[in-house]
Chain A
């Protein structure tokens, strides 16, 4: 289908306008209501979760008798109390909400205590006696690989003969690099409030990116039908992928308590429990081998991509698919073998997180590229340039999709020119020559990110629009609001479609009884699919209104025009409200649903080939960092970003997404370190021990530019592009810049091994390693670079 091309702006709040978040005023006054802020219903129970202290153990006995007699306790429930199925797996099966006989990670919920207050539940929980028989846990990638333990059967992206090409290539490198996981650290921890209704009905107020999955999960667990469950989401206090599948179990536990006690029940995970109980970004270990020519052109690349998938598969197969499909980043790789190994470990299930495997895959290939440059002693950006996707056959990804919208060469060249990359690099050299303690590094990171869920089925969206007789509009769609500004963007689309001011449009909460069978608000696709669905619904109503106006004024329907809050028919014009009233009198329906499916996408999960992405989004960042060679401390000094957003639906919102994603990515790669002890206990489970970036960590010079005049080549809603995830990967530039600084401590003679996150310790140890290796080189060092 062809999409709407442009939006005019003689109304307030049209598409492409800079508008603030629709709830901004409520945010600053404290009036915005989150689940935990809702006025309590009488009799509401609070749930205290009892979790396994062991990473791997059989549960041999459970004694709750004394706890049940404790004050304020309404019930204590375990796997055996679940009326339906103890399974909320989003893709596979057997993913329990409560451990049933076997605990598979430290922090896995075993029981829930429902009591009058959280504190009473906690007091009662101390009286519970659970007998465990502790088993050996599998905690590392190596242990899992040795045992051949996977959460689902591994898959690979293969093209040509990587081994043969590497073997035949004039030059070769090989190495290993790891990146850590990441806690989402949404400021609002996981929360759900379940309210029992008539019959088996249950209403769940959840903080979820995926109301439909919560609805399905609750129905499944309670053994009722999906239509018995209503899920409502007004807003989340942040999500970042952490509330895509992980919110389902929380909601199901609240619903379980509500259904079994007949009272409203709320589960709000306290911060430490949230971090211990729920999943995080996948950590990865990459082992790579690459063969290339003397000019640095890659011939064959082989990467073993092993991740700790955790105790269950959850959405790991999707994350891995995206990692496999982004380990090419912007580079044409003739012969490829990427093997994705989802290791089953006794750690919390890894899950969706902004970028969804993309950042990890890109980090791997950028390491390969840089290693090649170091091996050849050439500027890394020459190696990037020679390997970028181009034409003449060099435009097909390893998974078989032709890259048709490639702008990475122009985009990176423009950015390098605009920030005077060469001058800056010379300044870095000068600084390093003049300073012994601190060393600077600088790096470019190009990003190409595929937009659409890998799995075509998920690329659908629905909306429900009503126009009332006073011309006010009620807007509802399947997307959820987590702070990313989806609601205001979709409202702008509807304002543009009807040509009315945005304040006539009521933005309402996401509800499963209004728009059913939705996909998660994820994969950056929220405005693409929901915006288009809302546009389709509004267009439908608009046509009916036009018909009524045409009949009334005796003109052709096609000549009726909506403009600046008015409807024009021949020489007459009436207000939008009058037209709505007119249409009602003429017995036109002023309500419509809209449905959109992303066209032209395909994916064969067996062969891991197809064209899963409707289009690609591009961006680049140049970052400069400084490190302390005595302590390993680091700081990002500058970041310059140029990001493609198509014809932005709302530049203010897009800017916020770019800046926020970049800083979040920076945290992943620098200060955010998840540490487990040898028994599998997470030791970093609150902001006191897990350090996300603070305001001072943002580069003091942080320049973000949106690529102008870059309409999407494919007909998305008003030719916009998705923005939620792509800029996160721009932050890889920070890690590259730090690695560059480390390399310079050894005169750039050896390629540093620097794992992410680049904490002060990781940096200092990498410096030591580089200096030691550089000193062992036969040729004498020629000063530091």
Chain B
């Protein structure tokens, strides 16, 4: 039972290394490639960024990921690039040259991570296409922190080096110099097992046989157990190769995303149908996190501050669950029972989430409030689907995160708003029902008073936004 992958073009076959060892530790300590750094071991600083190359020649994708959150078996069959693999002798990659020549480094500790994040930008299409302007660079660098430079020279270097994009050029990881590494269905070491089924039934069987197994998708939540808690994970079942869980369906009346679909892959369709939702997704974690993380994981994680659940509740999304006993469906709202408690039965997993398409006369908006615009957890997240007719609210579906122990519908607000006049003052009056719906907590992100105040005030933003107020409403969008 070996685990195979390519790293900087060289094939590696690993045996006997426990599967809870992180990719970063493996690269630094076992392979002694110390370019990638550990700055936080929680996916937030980007110093550990490496790139995964995938796909056939002519259609290669290059995605930046956080090696600190990946466990070693996440590299199963992968093609990994680290900073050591970019330079060709003295010939620096354009990204490296621009960073070095443009004063993009000071202490240099963050630099390998920036270089890899920018390498992925240089070689790949962005989430939502377009030119390389500073905003595109910010999207790509939201997961990389630098404490020295103040970023200006890094962004300039990025614009310079990534400006002329040539995705298909040769270069590290570019061609098919090597046959893809063979992925294994099972890797075991140190008394821990990593199972990687490829089909729905296999997945169901594996889970039935190991009801206590950790279900692992992107690992952006679960990976913290390995990275920070240094926890052993006796049995892990990875969803990343289960074909059915990777499906994306664009049906006439709904979108359906398999539970293992990453944010990056889901974004184009969501952006087409729900631009506001897409804007939110572009603020979930960072490029790296979105390349790894899944909507299924966001739901499975059942955090009260997860960003997509309030949106999915407001959109009346439906979950498909699956187990050896067969499929089951439920409105996502009913899935969240209590603080981090879901209706998932032993042996059951999330197969997909179905999102109805927008209906005429309805508007959907979601607003995320956090201390920092990018890569921050929401203090409050509101999601609103409103139907207005004849100057009055005909129907409203509203949900909040960060306001209760679960992502939760604001039923009192919905009731107060439905039927009321479509005017700001009427909406603000109805918004007072927020206090009936929620008793938020105070914590290091925000106080209860602030959370409630913002949850109310967002109705004003909603009204101004939907009714097309002739003024900017988002500090992030004005110049």
Q: Which residues of A contact B (CB under 8 A)?
A: 20-21, 23-34, 36-37, 39, 119, 122, 184-189, 235-240, 270-272, 434-438, 482-485, 626-628, 630-635, 637, 652-653, 655-656, 659-664, 671, 673, 675, 683-684, 686-689, 691-698, 700, 702, 759-761, 764-765, 768
Q: Among B79-87, B307-315, B342-350, which stretch is in contact with chain A?
A: B79-87
Q: Which residues of B contact A435 (CB under 8 A)?
A: 471-472
Which of B101, B107, B460 counts the most A-chain CB atoms under 10 A from its CB?
B107
List 18 A–B pairs whose Cβ atoms lie within 8 Å, in order of A's numbering.
A21-B106, A23-B108, A24-B100, A25-B100, A29-B92, A34-B109, A36-B34, A187-B37, A187-B147, A238-B106, A271-B40, A626-B478, A630-B454, A630-B457, A655-B103, A664-B147, A687-B44, A694-B374
Q: Which residues of B contact A122 (CB under 8 A)?
A: 230
Within 8 A of A (CB), among B150-200: 150-155
Cα distance A653–B148 when bound, in Å? 11
Decide: B107 and A761 in contact? CB cutoff 8 A.
no
Going nearest first, the 8 A-B pairs with the smallest beta carbon separation are A30-B35, A483-B107, A237-B109, A27-B108, A659-B150, A687-B44, A663-B150, A483-B106
Q: Which residues of A contact B301 (CB under 8 A)?
A: none
Q: Is residue B302 contacting chain A, with contact meaning CB distance below 8 A?
A: no
Cα distance A36–B41 when bound, in Å? 15
Decide: B147 and A698 in contact? CB cutoff 8 A.
no
* CB proximity of A243 to chain B, nearest CB, Å: 11
Given contacts A29-B96, A33-B34, A694-B142, contact A24 B44 (CB under 8 A): no
* CB proximity of B37 to chain A, nearest CB, Å: 7
Q: Among B254-262, B264-272, B401-409, B440-448, which stretch is in contact with chain A?
A: B440-448
Cα distance A372–B95 when bound, in Å? 51
Q: Is residue B141 contacting chain A, with contact meaning CB distance below 8 A?
A: yes
Decide: B107 and A482 in contact? CB cutoff 8 A.
yes
Given contacts A656-B103, A656-B106, contact A688 B44 (CB under 8 A): yes
* CB proximity of A364 to chain B, nearest CB, Å: 24
* CB proximity of B479 to chain A, nearest CB, Å: 6
Which of B108, B134, B138, B152 counts the most A-chain CB atoms under 10 A from its CB?
B108
Decide: A27 and B100 in contact? CB cutoff 8 A.
yes
Given contacts A185-B147, A692-B147, A696-B142, contact A29 B86 (CB under 8 A): yes
* CB proximity of A285 to chain B, nearest CB, Å: 19
Cα distance A697–B373 when bound, in Å? 8
- The chain A residue sitting closest to B109, CB to CB, is A237
Please classify the interface of chain B as helix (H, G, I), strand (E, B), loop, or mixed, using the class held by over half of its residues: loop
- The chain B residue sitting closest to A27, CB to CB, is B108
Cα distance A238–B370 when bound, in Å? 27
Partner of A630, one of B43, B101, B443, B461: B461
Decide: B109 and A187 in contact? CB cutoff 8 A.
yes
Cα distance A105–B152 when bound, in Å? 38
Decide: B142 and A485 in contact? CB cutoff 8 A.
no
Decide: A633 and B32 in contact? CB cutoff 8 A.
no
Cα distance A438–B470 when bound, in Å? 12
Decide: A764 and B141 in contact? CB cutoff 8 A.
no
Please classify the interface of chain A as helix (H, G, I), strand (E, B), loop, or mixed, using the class held by over half of its residues: loop
Q: Which residues of A contact B375 (CB under 8 A)?
A: 694
Q: Which residues of B contact A759 (CB under 8 A)?
A: 371
Q: Which residues of B contact A (CB under 8 A)?
A: 28, 32-45, 47, 82-84, 86-87, 92, 95-97, 99-101, 103-112, 115, 134-135, 137-138, 141-142, 144-155, 228, 230, 367, 369-377, 379, 443-447, 450, 453-454, 457-458, 460-461, 464, 469, 471-476, 478-479
Q: Which residues of A contact B32 (CB under 8 A)?
A: 39
Given contacts A188-B107, A695-B155, contact A438 B475 (CB under 8 A): yes
Decide: A272 and B35 in contact? CB cutoff 8 A.
no
Decide: B454 and A764 in contact? CB cutoff 8 A.
yes
Decide: B458 and A764 in contact? CB cutoff 8 A.
no
Cα distance A37–B35 when bound, in Å? 8
Decide: B151 and A25 in contact? CB cutoff 8 A.
no
Decide: B115 and A28 in contact? CB cutoff 8 A.
yes
Cα distance A659–B151 when bound, in Å? 8
Decide: B151 and A28 in contact? CB cutoff 8 A.
no
Cα distance A146–B110 when bound, in Å? 44
Given contacts A185-B147, A187-B147, A663-B150, contact A628 B475 (CB under 8 A): yes
Q: Which residues of A contact B34 (CB under 8 A)?
A: 30, 33, 36-37
Q: Which residues of A contact B87 (CB under 8 A)?
A: 29
Decide: B147 and A186 in contact? CB cutoff 8 A.
yes
Cα distance A272–B108 when bound, in Å? 21
Cα distance A25–B149 when bound, in Å? 16
Decide: B152 and A702 in contact? CB cutoff 8 A.
yes
Q: Which residues of A contact B107 (CB under 8 A)?
A: 186-188, 235-239, 482-483
Decide: A28 and B373 in contact? CB cutoff 8 A.
no
Q: Which residues of B contact A631 (CB under 8 A)?
A: 367, 369, 454, 457-458, 461
Given contacts A435-B471, A438-B478, A697-B372, contact A30 B142 (CB under 8 A): no
Cα distance A652–B149 when bound, in Å? 11
Cα distance A483–B96 when bound, in Å? 17
* CB proximity of A113 to chain B, nearest CB, Å: 14
Partner of B105, one of A21, A33, A637, A696: A21
Given contacts A271-B39, A271-B42, A697-B373, contact A483 B148 (CB under 8 A): yes
Decide: A24 and B105 in contact? CB cutoff 8 A.
yes
- The chain B residue sitting closest to A673, CB to CB, is B371
Given contacts A20-B101, A235-B108, A271-B42, contact A438 B471 (CB under 8 A): yes
Decide: B37 and A696 in contact? CB cutoff 8 A.
no
Partner of A28, one of B47, B92, B137, B142: B92
Q: Which residues of A contact B35 (CB under 8 A)?
A: 29-31
Cα distance A662–B147 when bound, in Å? 11
Q: Which residues of B contact A188 (CB under 8 A)?
A: 37, 39, 107, 109
Decide: A691 and B376 in contact? CB cutoff 8 A.
yes
Decide: A683 and B110 in contact? CB cutoff 8 A.
no
- The chain B residue sitting closest to A236, CB to CB, is B107
Which of A482, A633, A661 counts the most B-chain CB atoms under 10 A from its CB?
A633
Cα distance A36–B369 when bound, in Å? 37
* CB proximity of B306 to chain A, nearest CB, Å: 14
* CB proximity of B468 to chain A, nearest CB, Å: 13
Q: Which residues of B contact A659 (CB under 8 A)?
A: 149-150, 152-153
Cα distance A664–B479 when bound, in Å? 22
Cα distance A118–B248 when bound, in Å? 42
Q: Which residues of A contact B115 (CB under 8 A)?
A: 28, 30
Cα distance A697–B134 when bound, in Å? 12
Decide: A683 and B472 in contact? CB cutoff 8 A.
no
* CB proximity of B29 to chain A, nearest CB, Å: 8
Cα distance A35–B476 when bound, in Å? 39
Given contacts A33-B34, A187-B39, contact A20 B103 (CB under 8 A): yes
